[in-house]
Amino acid sequence: MMKDNKIIVENINKKFIIRDKGVFGSNIKKEILALSDISFKVKSGEILGIIGNNGSGKSTLLKMIAGIYQIGEGNLKTSGSIVYLSGFGHVIKRGLTMGENIYFVSSLMGLNNINISKKFKDIVEFSGLEEYLDVRVKYFSSGMIRRLNFSIGIYCLTHNDPDILLVDEAISAGGDILFKKKAFEKITNLISGGASVLLVSHSLQSIMQYCDRVIWLGNGKIIMDGEPKKVVNEYRKKNQSM
């Protein structure tokens, strides 16, 4: 069944339990259904775009495939090595310096200290944050954190050469126009490298340019699955009418 598919998702449901305070201080548990009855397959070498408004379940889905979140209900099968690249900087430790974070995050992505040392200078130069190397990340702006996270991730990816690449808003890496241009070129090279790719992005132009197929998520459900231009046009119509 996995011969021609790198990812198989069958009837996936994902719930989160949110704890809140009641009127008299009692704990109230709220159950939120983040993903509902999600099913699709990704072929070897296929580039699948995932679009949807904030809160539609896009990042939750990628994190489940990456193994960051546990599956609630359903089946999920993958074949080959997986790398998850996020533009949000979730794994960055704010109490560590920039240099320490390069070693920390790179080690989480499978590099040993020897390989990290070899790529260290390139990561720092690409980020454009050389003067902040010994500064704790808690003093960085959100844009600087995104730049650092992207720079580490992109150079680790070139080392790992994954079978499955999960890209979560990394195309919109923080920074000025020059950095975004560099980031876009790096992502373009990776996407065209032959891996099966799941690309989450609010950049509909990028989705149409790179993807073979697009899934539109809304309120945790698949609204549409099909040819990029058709799905994107329907998504735009829906959002313009709201």
Instruction: Tell me if 135 is assigned to some domain.
Output: no
For residue 169, the domain's CATH number is 3.40.50.300
Instruction: Tell me if 232 is assigned to some domain.
Output: yes
The Cα–Cα gap between 106 and 151 comes to 10
Instruction: Tell me if 170 is assigned to some domain.
Output: yes
Which residues have CB under 8 Å from 198's CB, separation 6+?
Answer: 7, 42, 48, 50, 62, 65, 164, 165, 166, 167
DSSP letters, 198-232, are: EEE-S-HHHHHHH-SEEEEEETTEEEEEE-HHHHH
Report the SS3 class of residue 131: helix
Instruction: Tell me if 104 is assigned to some domain.
Output: no
Helix pair angle (142-160, 177-191), 10° resolution: 30
**Across 3-17, 61-75, 99-113, 150-164, least confident range:** 150-164
* Res 233: pLDDT: 96
Instruction: Tell me if 140 is assigned to some domain.
Output: no
The Cα–Cα gap between 169 and 179 comes to 15
Instruction: Tell me if 103 is assigned to some domain.
Output: no
- pTM of the prediction? 0.78
Closest CA to 198 of 12, 96, 68, 66: 66
Confidence of residue 185 (pLDDT cuts 50, 70, 90): confident
Q: 25 pLDDT exceeds 80?
A: no
Residue type for position 169: E
pLDDT digits (tens, 9 = 90+) for 172-182: 655 566 777 77
The Cα–Cα gap between 36 and 230 comes to 23
Radius of gyration of the chain (CA): 19
- Structural domain count, the chain: 1
Closest CA to 198 of 71, 58, 35: 58
Instruction: Tell me if 186 is assigned to some domain.
Output: yes
* Res 214: pLDDT: 98
Instruction: Tell me if 98 is assigned to some domain.
Output: no
Q: Which domain holds residue 12?
A: 5-81+162-240
58: buried, middle or exposed (CB in 10 Å: 19+, 13-18, 0-12)?
A: buried
